[in-house]
A and B are shown apart, each in its own frame.
Chain A
């Protein structure tokens, strides 16, 4: 039985307080948990505000009853036989829904979970935590009371991280290289799975018959959420044997589609796009392809496509992509074969749309998915089988 006797209450803020039942060892039945988690999906769909956030709609869609059955059915792990374990999740600051997937998958495995959220958390995180808390007070959500608690504290209170790390049997760190480095130093013997910095790219091939409108929408579905800053958002677009005319057609369609698309891009992102291009050029010596034709060229700046921007380069290295901070700048490069894609251990997702069957490039990357599905979550994320990790 753990009581966190040493946690200074002034330094922590429990969004979902661990109840007495949280400390009881008696496991909840897997059927009850399953009903409760899929019930949360139905609950989220009922909230009017959910519709404002496409990422919450996707989350709710993912955890609906039928899809969960399918996910668990396909998993090689047996989640019904295990003893109760304790998992401590560190959610990334200011993001998104991704930690919610790891939390709920862990819950489905019957684990008790404490989630640390950052004080800098964005609206989506706050919305989700508030609604989860409310849902857990309903009859259907009651099964989660013994499995979930959510805490917020300043990362500089290292002793809190230390105690929670000693409490758990597994620590899950979402949040990039520097976050992982600083957490790993605290209670270093704690078993841990990490999700470090990654970048992602898209590959596109068009001909005169291609349905440009549907392809543009698929590309924007990968690019727009999280203002292109998620690790699976494409930072670069590789043009595979595609004529300039068809490339232009694509960008014209993107501009059209953006006019009616929902996104969070604003003037500050526009300024970041100019800045980012300058930073990448001055650091890595990128040469741009001059698209000005016969007109007298001016200094380098990206081409404006509504709220996003693009620029075509002659060479592209993993370093450039790893230093690309998102904000809506798409780096383009023409290739004749997918083997020209700059693979590296940091390349996470390749989203593709090609005329012929997809062939993966030589070199290291984590996954390849059809364009439009880059941000879709999978229980094997970044090479880590979460259900297996949570049920060992």
Chain B
């Protein structure tokens, strides 16, 4: 069992100054490395391949495991009879990531997700419009990132209303009904970015229907990959939403199934923010050296949450830039950053390519 420092999860989400936060991360992350070194063989091999003193290394120097390794290998630090749930990434191509959770980890993830989101939404539950089909959660049994997102966010709403039917088409009557009941009070809208755009905002625009919500918060995430073809920027996305839905505060978020619970919410100034239990590092794609604030490179996400699999330091295949720490104009402490998109996949060009 891994034991956390007392009151770690009572820290203010965006309120701990850099020196204290970095000291806390250095201590907890090196303990996590030792924990996974003892319990996960594949992780132990990675650390043993070139000895370095990970027990005393700063959290920024701990070994970042490539996110794609979770697709190729079973990376787990628990016994198979302790597995409470196995999460899968929503990746549309190739193998899905497999993340094993025990009961404690699953609970911890939910707790932290609640704390992060409450700091944006308040404790009051709002009537909630989900831009998805009710079957998405049922079919996947909440084991995909999309289903987990829907289920996780549902906790912050009441009077849940799904805006799409089983065929993932806009159910305009249900949306009209939701608006007439709750349009004048604070509401929560949630969905995956490309689904919100294609199946909701675009569909409403085609029907030439606008709503005028008095006070709505839209939370959306899941990446812009599918929307880059359509050349939709964050600005166009937001402008279309104001035009179609009225007074909406729009927040993108960044997160991954490998670190469920830790999400990075976009502030009013357009930056994603690291909560106190997590940090973002930018590494050079050339040699993985750490880059300065303002330089673009590979995003590494560090999180204190994972104890059932060695996912506390993960090297993503996304490119991003950290703009600063503790001095975002929105007033929140912690690092703030932007995601630029994914590194394009290298083309397979071998004789050993398959007959497809």
Q: Which chain A residues have a beta carbon within 8 Å of chain B's beta carbons?
A: 90, 92-96, 98, 118, 120, 122, 155, 173-180, 182-183, 195, 197-198, 226-227, 229-231, 264, 266-272, 274-275, 278-279, 281-283, 285-288, 290, 296-301, 303-304, 325-327
Contacts and interface: CB of A to CB of B under 8 A. Distances in A.
Interface string B50-66: 11111001000111111
Which interface residue of A95, A179, A271 has the most chain B CB atoms within 10 A? Answer: A271
A227 B288 contact: no
Chain B contact surface mostly: loop
B356 A287 contact: no
A327 B49 CA distance: 21
Given A288-B50, A325-B348, 18 more contacts: A90-B355, A95-B349, A178-B354, A197-B352, A198-B351, A198-B352, A227-B347, A229-B351, A231-B350, A266-B344, A278-B65, A278-B66, A279-B69, A286-B45, A288-B49, A296-B53, A300-B63, A303-B287
A390 to B, nearest CB: 19
B209 interface: no
Nearest to A326: B350
Interface residues of B, number: 45
A274 B288 contact: yes
Nearest to A182: B355
11 contacts: A94-B353, A96-B351, A98-B351, A174-B351, A179-B353, A227-B349, A229-B348, A231-B350, A266-B346, A278-B65, A286-B49
B78 interface: no
Interface in B67-111: 68-69, 72-73, 75
A282 B43 contact: yes
Given A176-B352, A288-B49, A271 B343 contact: yes
A267 B318 CA distance: 12
A271 B317 contact: yes
Given A271-B343, A287-B49, A179 B354 contact: yes
Contacts of A95: 349-351, 353
Contacts of B66: 274-275, 278-279
A95 B353 CA distance: 8
Interface of B: 42-43, 45-54, 57, 61-66, 68-69, 72-73, 75, 285-288, 298, 315, 317, 343-356
Nearest to A186: B355
A268 B348 CA distance: 11
Contact of B343 (A195, A198, A267, A298): A267
Contacts of B347: 94, 122, 227
A290 B51 contact: yes
Given A226-B350, A275-B68, A301 B288 contact: yes
Nearest to B286: A304
B73 A282 contact: yes
- Give the interface centre of B48, B50, B315, B351 by most chain A CB atoms within 10 Å: B351
Contacts of B350: 92, 94-95, 176, 226, 229-231, 325-326
B346 A272 contact: yes
Contacts of B344: 266-268
Contacts of A327: 346
Nearest to B40: A282
A98 B43 CA distance: 39
A270 B351 contact: no
Nearest to B298: A271
B48 A287 contact: yes
A167 B75 CA distance: 49
Nearest to A276: B66
A266 B66 CA distance: 19
A275 B315 CA distance: 9
A287 B62 CA distance: 18
Contacts of B348: 94, 229, 325
A370 to B, nearest CB: 21
A175 B61 contact: no
A193 to B, nearest CB: 14
Contact of A270 (B62, B64, B285): B285
A290 B52 CA distance: 10
Given A175-B353, A198-B351, A278-B46, A301 B287 contact: yes
A173 B285 CA distance: 37
A96 B317 CA distance: 28
Contacts of A300: 46, 49-50, 63
A281 B343 contact: no
Contacts of A118: 355-356
B351 A93 contact: no
A271 B354 CA distance: 23
